[in-house]
Amino acid sequence: MEWYHVGAGLLVLLVLFIGLGLSIPFALAAASLPFLFYIQGWSTALVSSELKLWGVWIDYVLLAVPLFVFLGELIGRSNIGPNLYQFMHRGVRVRGSAAYGSIAACAGFGAVCGSSMVGSLTIGGVALPEMKKLGYDNRLSSGVLAAGGTLSVLIPPSLILLFYGIVTDTSIGELFIAGIVPGVVLVLLFCVVVYVWGRLHPSHIPDVDESTRSSLREMLVSLGPILLIGLVITLSIYTGIATPTEAAAVAALLTVILAFGVGGLDFAGFKAALMATMRTMGYLGLLLSAGVLFGFVMTYYRVPQQFTELFLSYQFGPYVVLAIVIVFYIVLGMFLEPVSMTFITLPTIFPLMQAAGFDMIWFGIVYTITMEIAVLTPPVGLNLYVIQGISRGTISIGEVIVGCLPFIASMCLLIALLIAMPGTATWLPAAMK
């Protein structure tokens, strides 16, 4: 069987099963099994499937995933996230402080949690009612919070960077370091969007909020937990003291202590965080396992390698290849969520980008930004529906989409900056070696 028959067959079966209503993990596995049976026969294929599935669940690196998810759930169900927003909002006496505070709070939350949706849900649940009460325009407030949640995907620790490192066998520590500078630049670009929006539409942003400033104790309670958890994660990984998995474990334990100690978490909230983590990992675990089977079939038939050779035979320039890949991911992101895209497409795209001569740490950051755009583009933009759901019907999905457009433009500008100045992503990892 030729590689292109296998590639086309996998794609057709995958689309067919998704169209029939199967979830992505089951669709991936169902598309892979016929080819696996053809390769190995029924009995051998069953044993091989069991071994590969078991190998995913006992992978040491993957232990970081549920730990980071649990950490985010704890912060989201305690007062740590809301306290951070209140401090960022009250601590800055400028026009638009609630919008700037939302961006800063999302960035701070991103420094301890790698999930975009959890970031939007946690900060948005507190910030959106406050911004509506203060008189912010619906499109601006919803766009700020939907886009702000994506900062959790770029600012380390990031689940997408973690999955990218696992799929491509790239250093997760270096990927996390590489995300810092682009993450800070994106925060600044988001703030510029808010400033320009306020200049173009003065009525959309209220005057300076004169609410009472936070006391010193409130500042410590608001900033202390986030700073402490963030420092544990970043310093332990970047100094080489701990692996990402070990750092996630220590940070999760520290978050439990802080959530109960200063975050007002009760046992019911702790149990809810555990259950939410188990539900999330049930899906992610199945997706990882099915992705391994899917990747094994493609690798056996050398689909990624042959596709790369075919694509390069057309002698496109490296940046033409990059442009095609970015457009492909932006379009695909309208229909699939980022984690599914990572396990379905990256095994094929990664060798292509490597052959085109791009640095894989750098491409990991560009790839992650395209995943940020994916969660903001309809019809399957997860963050759009999170913010619209938080509003309880007071903001339409159309207003959320329109509000996100300037922030999507700023992400595209960041990609252009990374292409023009690759050192934006690669300088810090190289300097820390």
pLDDT one-digit tens code per residue, 187-200 = 999 999 999 998 89
Q: Tell me the whole-structure pTM to 2 decimals.
A: 0.85
Q: How confident is the model at residue 360 (pLDDT cuts 50, 70, 90)?
A: very high
What would the pLDDT profile of 264-291 be if each residue is shown by its tens digit?
Answer: 888 998 999 899 888 888 877 788 788 8
pLDDT of residue 362: 95
> Has residue 131 been placed in a domain?
yes
> Has residue 363 been placed in a domain?
yes
> Has residue 21 been placed in a domain?
no
> Has residue 145 been placed in a domain?
yes
> Has residue 270 been placed in a domain?
yes
Q: What angle do CA 321, 323, 327 make, to 5 degrees?
A: 120
* Total structural domains within the chain: 1
What would the pLDDT profile of 368-402 be if each residue is shown by its tens digit?
Answer: 999 889 888 887 777 888 888 888 778 888 888 99
Query: Is 152 strand, coil or helix?
Result: helix
Buried-exposed string 107-124: b where 16+ CB fall within 10 A, e elsewhere: bbbbbbbbbbbbbbbbbb
> Has residue 22 been placed in a domain?
no
C-alpha dist (Å) from residue 383 to 100, 372, 403: 19, 10, 12
Segments forming the whole domain that contains residue 215: 59-431
Do 371 and 333 contact (CB within 8 A), yes or no?
yes
C-alpha dist (Å) from residue 294 to 10, 13, 43, 264, 428: 8, 12, 18, 44, 35
Alpha helical stretches, state H, 338-396: 338-355, 360-374, 382-390
d(CA 261, CA 255) in angstroms, rounded, equals 9
Averaged over 314-320, what is the pLDDT?
Answer: 86
> Has residue 202 been placed in a domain?
yes
Averaged over 357-372, what is the pLDDT?
Answer: 93
pLDDT of residue 213: 61
> Has residue 304 been placed in a domain?
yes
d(CA 105, CA 107) in angstroms, rounded, equals 5
Query: Is 282 strand, coil or helix?
Result: helix
Do 432 and 177 contact (CB within 8 A), yes or no?
yes
Has residue 93 got a pLDDT over 70?
Answer: no
Enter the DSSP assignment of 92. Answer: -
